[in-house]
Each structure stands twice: as structure tokens, then as C-alpha cells.
Amino acid sequence: MVTTNETPRRRKNSWLNALLTLVIAALVTTIAGTNGLVRALRSELDGVKRESVATTALSPAHPDFENYLFVGSDSRAGSDPSDPDYNNVGAEGDIGGQRSDTLMVMHYVKATGTVSLLSIPRDLWVYIGDGDESQRVNTAYQLGTDVLVRTVQRALNIPIHHYVEIDFQGFKTIVDSVGGVSVCVDHASRDKHTGLFMKPGCSTLDGVEALAFARSRFFEQKIDGDWQVDGSSDIGRTARQRLFVQALAKSAVLGVSDNPFSVGSVIEGALGAVMVDEQLNLIEFGKKMRPAASGKIASFPLAVYGDTIGGNSVLQLGEDAAELLAFFAGTGPRPVLNP
């Protein structure tokens, strides 16, 4: 079992889910606002990269709620051969086209200010864009961010109002800039593919270690003297990521609260790594994320089941996902979280 400590240690460590991006930037922006620093940092906020292509596929604004698509890109652009994890991350030309390594949807209810998070397994089998071809959802990204947005909207039958993206290199920058998050495991854990190794108990992870944890698809734990592979694959991976999103968001706020002078470096690290749609107001978004500062984020798994198509193992959307997706579509109540 993997858990996150509610009182994270604050030093140059932590990991984030390759997608937590805007949550961190927004929370820090909120803290900056309370300290009167937003005006001084506005030029940096105005300089954040904007994604015009994804913007064309977004749904019109809804009066009651907003859905944000968080994308963790597996782009190797900017990777440095001297990085300690270069052999795991690889160079820009090491993969056949960019893919979305992590996908999440964040749902914000305007009347109540509640924040909910939904993970999308990257092996989910879906129709790509508006066409008739089916493939894993993470392949839509290489056809264009607009195609990815349309793919998610069609597959889950929910609107997407905003787009947020972060890449591998930016992931590590954000982690090292915000401080530390304590990640706890019941048993010694590893992933030989990403170089991850954790002792039993709670540890703080730096940017390199964080990325190894976030990308782990071959997660193993040593139980009764034997290394046992997490058989849940993508499902277990996204569950670990959702837990960490909440812990890191809280850690970022606590860290900046303790040291307001660090806000500049945190914002610089976060905003330098993130790309958002043309319509997103970062300062207003930060204000909406205040519930996340106290750890009040409801985290939901997407009901899926395993299937085999063309000899490949994939995931299909389960019938039990209907209630959750109705909530994210604005047509139903928020499901009750299992304890």
C-alpha cells in the first residue's frame, strides 16, 4: 500500500504527478495574492506559454462548473545527457512521437467551490478525435492537442473548458522548487524500469525520484521476502498519482506559507514548465483552488475493465463509471467517496 503523509517534510524533495502542474501554480499564486506579491509577479504570469490549438477544441463556458484537462507530456525536449535519470527518460528522438503520459480531469463547482479529480488511464481504448479509428487515449496527443481534447470529451461525454500541460523536464523543476512531500510505503518498493527504490516507511523524493515514482508502470513491493509486481498496472499507477496530487498541493501551500520569500522561485519554476489554453486566467484559477490548500480534493478512480484488442492489453470504460461521469458532465450529484 502507498500513502502520503499529511505533514510533508519541507526540503528540496518531493514528486508530483506529471500533471499536478496548474494546481501548484495556482495555489502558489493564491498565496502570493495574500501577501501582495501578485502585482510584482504579474509579468511572469503573463509570460506563461499559451496553447492556441487546444483552445479551439474547448467547450463553451458553463455557468455552474468548469472541467480542466491536465496533461503530463512525455516530451524529451530539453533532456540533458548529464541528468541522473537520462537513461530512464531518454532523448528527444527516443520515442515515436509525443504521447500524453498522464491524463486527469479536475472538476470545479462554482456554487460550492468543491474540487474533484478524475484520473484517465492512458491505456483506455477510445475513438480518436471525431473519427472512426480506435486506439489508446494517450496516442491522441501526437495528432494534436485539439484532437486530445476532442477525444477525451467524446470518450467520457463531458465538456473540457480549460487545458493545462506539463512535460517531464518541467515536472522535475516544479518538484524541486516547491519543497518536499512525504511519500509512505508499507514495504520496500521499486521499479527497475525507472530506477525507483524506496525503503519501508516515509521518504521525501527529489525531482528525479519523483519522476521515477510518477512514471512507474512496473511497481513492485517486497512482501514476505519476495518482490511482487503490482498487477493493477495503469489503475494502480493512476491511484498513486491522485494521492500524490493532493499531498503535493497541500505541501506547496504549506511551504510557501512558512517562507513567503520562496514564492518567486516556486512560481518561476512552475510557470516555466507549464502551458495553458489562451482563455485561462491564472490568478482567478488560483483563487478557485483554495480548497486544495487544505487538502479538500475529492479523488475518484474511473471504473474500467481489462480487455484484449488485436493482441494488445487495453482498458475499456466500465458501466459503473456512469455516475461519476454524470457528475463531471454537470448532470448528476457527486458520488460518495469510499472510505
Q: What is the pLDDT of residues 320-339, one digit of tens each?
A: 999 999 999 999 999 987 65
Interval 112-138: pLDDT, tens? 888 898 989 889 999 999 999 999 998
Can you give the pLDDT at residue 323?
Answer: 96
* Residue 85: all three cell numbers together: 535519470
Rounded Cα gap, residues 177 and 40, in angstroms: 19
Would residue 97 be called left, alpha or beta, if left means φ above 0 and alpha means ψ between -120 and 50 degrees? left
Rounded Cα gap, residues 14 and 179, in angstroms: 7
| Helical axes 21-34 vs 168-178, angle rounded to 10° | 30
Alpha helices in the chain (DSSP H): 21-34, 38-46, 52-55, 86-89, 145-156, 168-178, 207-215, 234-258, 263-271, 282-288, 290-293, 322-328
Rounded Cα gap, residues 281 and 237, in angstroms: 31
Q: How confident is the model at residue 165 (pLDDT cuts 50, 70, 90)?
A: confident
Domain boundaries, the chain: 2-328
Can you give the pLDDT at residue 187?
Answer: 92
Total residues found in the chain within this entry? 339
Determine the Cα angle at 137 with ends 134 and 143, to 5°. Answer: 85
Residue whose entry in the numeric block shows the C-alpha cell 484484449? 308
CATH second-level architecture of 2-328?
3-Layer(aba) Sandwich (3.40)
56-70, 166-180, 257-271, 298-312 — which is least confidently predicted? 257-271
280 has pLDDT over 80: yes
179-185 average pLDDT score:
74
114-123, 181-190, 208-217 — which is least confidently predicted? 208-217
Neighbours of 307 (CB within 10 A): 12
Can you give the pLDDT at residue 152?
Answer: 97
Longest dimension (CA), the chain: 57
Per-residue CA distances from 226 to 22, 29, 196, 220, 240 (Å): 39, 45, 17, 10, 21
Of residues 55 and 179, more confidence is placed in: 55
Can you give the pLDDT at residue 300?
Answer: 87
Q: Give the amino acid at 60.
A: P
The CA-to-CA distance between both ends of the chain, in Å, stands at 15
Rounded Cα gap, residues 194 and 203, in angstroms: 17
DSSP 203: E
17 has pLDDT over 50: no
Rounded Cα gap, residues 327 and 45, in angstroms: 31
Q: Give the amino acid at 91.
A: A
Torsion 94-139-72-210 (CA) sign: negative
| Helical axes 263-271 vs 21-34, angle rounded to 10° | 150
Nearest to 109 by CA among 62, 160, 158, 65: 65
Selection from 70-79, 83-92, 234-243 with the highest mean pLDDT: 234-243
Beta bridge partner(s), residue 71: 103, 165
Residue 154, helix vs strand vs coil: helix
Q: How confident is the model at residue 211 (pLDDT cuts 50, 70, 90)?
A: confident
